Structure 1
Amino acid sequence: MRITALETFPVPPRWLFLKITTDEGVVGWGEPVVEGRAHTVATAVEELSELLVGRDPLAIEDHWQVMTKGGFYRGGPVLSSAVAGIDQALWDIAGKTYGVPVHRLLGGPLRDRVRVYQWIGGDEPSEVAEAAAEQVEAGFTAVKMNASGRMRHIDTPAEVEGVVRRVEAVREVLGDRRDVAVDFHGRFSTAMARRVVPRLEPLLPLFVEEPVLPENTSKVREVTAATSVPVALGERLFSRWDFRDVLGAGIAVAQPDLSHAGGISEVRRIAAMAEAHDVTMAPHCPLGPIALAASLQIAFSTPNFLIQEQSRGIHYNVGSDLLDYLVDPSPFRFEEGRVRAPEAPGLGIEIDEAAVRRAAELGHRWRSPIWRDDDGSFAEW
């Protein structure tokens, strides 16, 4: 069997899908995307295709090594995301070739069901109590919310109290048998994180996410040392080497993204490193159905797994949502906030290629918002 073509599809709301075709008719799908840079990643995929066309798709590890190390300049979000989507598609082909879901190629399932959480509140969180109540009614046992909107480097007591009040309101709705995760989204300076996170301790969040920017990971230990709240990060780290130092800095939860951090091949290695540091896994995935399908293969085969992010109904999904590109949405049926192990071969989903091609004709130009403080200066989104 040989790879004959790689084809990318930018589809709304902000995703990029990849189809890898073989000469024996086995097709694999992946999701290589950097949110806001989909077309840049598509170009990287096209360049990497020169290394793949005519080659055996089942030589997954060799392809990963060549794609990541075959160039003098390596790494970064664009290249790592291009590799990630290709890697997903190659595992999809492997599972279909052998007639098993990918998680069985990774050692088999360790659990029957995986817990997922639902997003509430939007980019600038509001009406979070009402939104949390809706998700409780829908059966979810965990939600995630942004801690704040834009934040100054050292912000006012009112902003600090606003974060605490919002989390208090959600905790009151959830009670003590459900969980709330609080995403700081890299909007807080280290000083503000050290001030705010300890204030959340009585509310027992599942974790606080990305309390410092990825370029400030040397400061992570200052935050973890200041609080008993579990600290999570990793959506903007792209390899096991990026995770190497933070895993020993006291974080509790690693959050590599299957569409950014080198795909299934690399995330399984990050998971093994995390386990050796007593760190659990909650893969980042506010993306599309292929990314989620790949994430679930890791979730079911990883011993130190905690919970899975998913994007159904997330505030970014305007006009298109998680299930819109699937022939059969049943693999993502959530029951009591959990999803069962996929049993179909490969990634366990069937992409509606006709729907993908129609959507790609429309395409998208999604970009990250540009935020500014009231003095006109740039603010982290």
Structure 2
Amino acid sequence: MKIVQAESIHADAGYRIASYLKLTTDEGLVGWAEYYDRFANASIDPLIQDFMRTATGMDPRQVGKLSETLTATTRLAAGGLAQQAIAAIENACLDVAGKAAGVPVSTLLGGALRQRLPVYWTHCGSYRTPPRDTFFEGLGHPPVRTLDDLGNVAKEAVAQGYRAVKTNPVFFGGPKPQFFNGGFRASPGFLDRSVTDRQLGQIEEQMTAYREAIGPDVGLMLDLSFSQRTEGYLRIARRLEHLNLFWLEVDINDPEALAHIRRSVRTPIASLEALHGIAEYRPFLQAQTVDTAIVDPLWNGVWQSQRIALFADAYETTFAPHNCVGALASLMSAHLSAVLPNFRIMELRVDEAPWATEYLSHPPVVENGELLVPDRPGWGTDIDEEALRARPARR
């Protein structure tokens, strides 16, 4: 079996663009992968086609050989967007390999250790603030305008059976609520990466409202991304210690600084989602920087992510997948999470355009806050190309 073609297809997913890679073999088998395109305002589609010059003619079932071969070609410019392009090809090959063998991808990775995976509602409430508020209002979801509105979304999550929620800082007091800047989107003040006393008080007020809304037994997480430097993370962590967070999610490029943060606070620290490749994870794991290592299987590739997660397990560190896109990505994360002994919890984007799940023949199934691991071949779903092409992406 040989790879003969790879095609990128982009579709409307409401407030975002859904991106899929269709990989075709000479035997007619097709593999699919979801990926992030233009996450950094730069498309990886041309890079995928560049790497396809090497991947074409290779056997997609030899996933490790293919992934390591493509990665080796980037040694003078490793990681980043190049790794994300390779990951998309790698992940589509895993789907082909599973379908060819008639088994789920989890079986290819060693076999599922569990059939149900705890998930958390990510960006709970915070994604219903500007500029996305009008989109959700059009879907019948009340937009978030006040702190009480945020608490109501948290209550909604608990009512639906979720046992953990994650949110982002939202600042009130202006004409509209202001979603925090994660430190990687160009906008006024985003280079400062610091928190004011007023913002610190608002974050504490917001997280207290969440804790009161969900009760003491539901996990509560706060995602700060790259928004702070070391001092800011420490100030926020210490201010929120009384709320017993499930974890505080922070990103910083210095392993010594992250280790200092973890040693200095009682709140569990989760991080590392922005890293590419096992070599980038090594200094952070050796320095015992995190309680939970977050790995993005769409940026690293599911096969490579398994290697990273097992490396984390050797340091007694739990693993959680990063996933800020759609339903196929959730299934891909599920197959990875199912086989890992150090799996902690899975990220799930609940606030999505309802038609986005129509792109899948078998979308993810969530029951009582747990995602069911698919037992069908490959990722456990096919993609409806007609539905994709009927809703072209709006740039």
Q: Return the TM-score normalized by structure 1.
A: 0.88
Residue of structure 2 in register with 1:68 after alignment: 71
What percent identity do the matched residue pairs reach?
29
Q: Does 1:174 align with 2:214?
A: yes
Tell me the CA shift for residue 333 of structure 1. 1.7
Tell me the CA shift for residue 320 of structure 1. 6.2
Structure-to-structure mapping, 1:19-34, within 5 angstroms: 19-34=22-37
| RMSD, matched Cα | 1.9
The 3 A distance-change label for structure 1 pair 35 and 292 is: farther
Q: Does 1:51 align with 2:54?
A: yes
**Any idea what the Cα deviations from partners look like across 1:16-35, whole Å, max 9, x if unmatched?**
21001111111100123244
Q: Is the 8 A contact 1:34 1:81 kept in 2?
A: no
Structure-to-structure mapping, 1:1-381, within 5 angstroms: 1-12=1-12, 13-37=16-40, 40-119=43-122, 120-122=124-126, 126=147, 127-148=149-170, 149-150=180-181, 153-210=193-250, 212-213=251-252, 215-247=253-285, 248-261=287-300, 263-313=301-351, 317=352, 322-329=356-363, 332-359=364-391, 362-365=392-395
Number of aligned residues:
354
CA distance in 1, matches of 2:63, 2:237: 41
Tell me the CA shift for residue 38 of structure 1. 7.3
Q: Is the 8 A contact 1:32 1:41 kept in 2?
A: no
**Any idea what the Cα deviations from partners look like across 1:236-284, whole Å, max 9, x if unmatched?**
11111111111233300111111112x1111001111110111111100
- What secondary structure, in the 3-state scheme, does the structure 2 residue paired with 1:64 have? helix
Q: Is the 8 A contact 1:14 1:35 kept in 2?
A: no
CA distance in 1, matches of 2:45, 2:69: 18
Tell me the CA shift for residue 163 of structure 1. 1.1
The 3 A distance-change label for structure 1 pair 306 and 204 is: same
**Any idea what the Cα deviations from partners look like across 1:189-219, whole Å, max 9, x if unmatched?**
2111111102222211111112x43x34441
Q: Which one-letter code corresponds to 2:298 in the other structure?
A: S
Tell me the CA shift for residue 11 of structure 1. 2.2
Q: Return the TM-score normalized by structure 2.
A: 0.85
The 3 A distance-change label for structure 1 pair 154 and 91 is: closer
Q: Is the 8 A contact 2:102 2:377 kept in 1?
A: yes
The 3 A distance-change label for structure 1 pair 30 and 38 is: farther
- What secondary structure, in the 3-state scheme, does the structure 2 residue paired with 1:243 have? helix
In structure 2, the gaps of 5 or more residues are 130-143, 171-179, 182-189
Tell me the CA shift for residue 157 of structure 1. 2.1
Tell me the CA shift for residue 56 of structure 1. 1.3
**Any idea what the Cα deviations from partners look like across 1:279-300, whole Å, max 9, x if unmatched?**
1111000112222111111111
Q: Which one-letter code corresponds to 1:63 in the other structure?
A: L
**Any idea what the Cα deviations from partners look like across 1:87-139, whole Å, max 9, x if unmatched?**
11111011101111011111111112101111312256853211100111111
Between 1:68-77 and 1:102-111, the stretch displaced more is 68-77
Residue of structure 2 in register with 1:369 after alignment: none
CA distance in 2, matches of 1:92, 1:354: 20
Residue of structure 2 in register with 1:379 after alignment: none
The 3 A distance-change label for structure 1 pair 349 and 106 is: same
Tell me the CA shift for residue 147 of structure 1. 3.1
CA distance in 1, matches of 2:91, 2:328: 8
Q: Is the 8 A contact 1:14 1:364 kept in 2?
A: yes
Q: Which one-letter code corresponds to 2:125 in the other structure?
A: G
Tell me the CA shift for residue 154 of structure 1. 4.3
